[in-house]
Amino acid sequence: MIPLGNHPEEHSVLYNCNYHLIAVRLTHTQFRDLAWKFGLAATHQRQVIYEAVVSAPGHYSPEQIYDVVRGRVPSISLATVYKNIRLFVEHGLLREVTPHAPMLRVDGNLEPHHHLVCTHCKSVQDIEGDFVDFKKLSRQLPGGFDLTQPLVEVFGLCRRCSKKPRTTTTKEK
């Protein structure tokens, strides 16, 4: 994440997403309009938290977001970050990644996509594509189940973990 803007009313960030550089600029007015559209008050803390998530591609825990946000708002608490992240997820500004996992992670990418999840280091990567016929799947669902957000999670080992030498357990010997 590389800050671009020098004006406090406009926070600009440059980041690499799918090998293309993208600039994210949210003036206070733009954030206010976005927050109001989703029924939220537009506070400075909320804007900084939201920008910390959407300004860099990835899937972040509240603790990681807190570390970034404290650079701009030193007095913010981890509880405030958690509360606002949950609020953003509930109102549709952010998406929760693997909601059944023990650790909360959020994604600022609201476009339809799927995830590759490393079973060793727990990293999450985006992957795009039509892997499942969701219309066919919806016809196979049990009665009363409403398919609201089709998402495929593929589990395996990421490149870094698959290159690590595996230790042999007693059962494997």
Category of 69 on φ-ψ map: left (φ > 0), alpha (ψ -120 to 50) or beta: alpha
DSSP state of 92: T
pLDDT tens for the chain, 173 residues long, are 323 233 333 333 333 333 233 334 577 788 888 889 988 999 999 999 998 998 888 888 999 999 999 999 999 999 999 999 999 999 988 988 876 677 888 988 878 788 888 888 888 888 887 777 778 888 888 888 887 777 788 889 989 998 877 665 555 44
pLDDT tens-digit series, residues 44-84: 999 999 989 988 888 889 999 999 999 999 999 999 999 99
Domain 112-163 falls under CATH 3.40.50.2300: no
Please give the Cα distance from 160 to 29 (Å, whole number).
42
Amino acid at 162: S
CA of 144: how far to CAs of 137, 139, 149, in Å?
14, 11, 15
Q: Name the CATH code of domain 1-110 (choices 3.40.50.1980, 3.40.1350.10, 1.10.10.10, 3.40.50.720).
A: 1.10.10.10
Domain boundaries defined on the chain: 1-110, 112-163
Q: Where are the alpha helices (DSSP H) in 92-169?
A: 134-140, 159-163
Residue 7's pLDDT is: 31
